[in-house]
Amino acid sequence: MATTPAPAAPTTAAPAAKTGRLTAFDAEGTEATHVETGVVNSLAAGPGRVYAAGWDGRLRAYDSTGKARWKLDLTRALHDKNPMQVSLAAAKFDNATVYSAARPATTSSQVPAGENLLRTDKATLKVGGTGGWMSAGSVDVKAEDLINGKIDDVATPWLNLREIFWDSQTGRQVWAEVSFKSATDVQSLTVYENPKYAASFPTEAVVQVWDEPQKAWKTAAVGTFLSGAINTYNLNLKAVTKLRYVPMGDYYRNFYTSELEVR
């Protein structure tokens, strides 16, 4: 007796992941079902399952009919002070040695001696960001808060909550810009993070210098493997007219940078 072949299991179309809708098609390319997740997802597929890692920090599993099978909240693990230590402890490597790479920061934790030009009339400071779609390019910190001699007084994050997502996803950096009244030799820039918010210390940053003939910002120093509250960038620049400090990396950390000094 002839048998009718079983219909092929629907498969999810990856492009639909960008819209928050997961769509399954049959073997003929006809939509079989769809499900709205409400968030942008990255997808992976396995036998009879589609896995959607959402930007909301949840991992979801669906079967071939579009029925949700389970949801895992991954954000709780991110709240731990040291998630790597938790992972290592959970692994329970008996009689094994675990090696962890450690690299020193490219900046110095030492504060140079000499006059801070931002506490004189030789230089001024302004702060801002890069505007664009859904982002005004603004920051909540005030320039005067970064040059008042206090290294732990900024308790309001630089980025408004409305700005964090767009800035972090599109690379729209915020910055603190130093302008000099006349061309000035600059030896160093020191950045102080509020020690009360260690989890928000930036891990990467750049210092840029303005190239007047080219009308462009050029990289003067790069900070990587940053971990401490004090980071001094040795610059040794001549005849500077403008200088910028630009935190990089994960903007979801937000920033509580409290003071800048230029020498």
- Per residue in 7-28, pLDDT (tens digit) is 344 444 444 455 677 887 777 7
Q: Residues 67-84, buried b or exposed e (16+ Cβ, 10 A)?
A: eeeeeeeeeeeeeeeeee
pLDDT at 96 over 70: no
pLDDT at 79 over 70: no
CATH of domain 117-262: 2.60.120.260
- What percent of the chain clears pLDDT 90, i.e. is strictly above it? 48
Confidence band for 216, pLDDT divided at 50, 70 and 90:
very high
Confidence band for 40, pLDDT divided at 50, 70 and 90:
confident
Q: Cα–Cα distances in Å, from 88 out to 140, 159, 250?
A: 38, 33, 23
Q: Where in the chain is the domain with CATH 2.60.120.260?
A: 117-262
Half-sphere exposure of 261 (CA within 13 A, CB side): 19
Q: Tell me the H-state helices in 58-106.
A: 75-78, 83-91
pTM (predicted TM-score): 0.65
The mean per-residue pLDDT over the stretch 101-108 comes to 88
Please state which of the ranges 65-79, 114-128, 196-210 shows the lowest mean pLDDT.
65-79
Alpha-carbon Rg for the chain in angstroms: 25
Q: Is the dihedral of CA 76, 78, 79, 81 positive or negative?
A: positive
Domain 11-76 = CATH 2.40.128.630: yes
Tokens, residue 234: 């040795």
Count other Cβ atoms within 10 Å, centred on residue 169: 14
Q: Where in the chain is the domain with CATH 2.40.128.630?
A: 11-76
Given a contact cutoff of 8 angstroms between Cβ atoms, the answer to whether 86 and 92 are in contact is no
Given a contact cutoff of 8 angstroms between Cβ atoms, the answer to whether 162 and 180 are in contact is no
Strands (E), 47-146: 49-54, 58-62, 68-73, 123-129
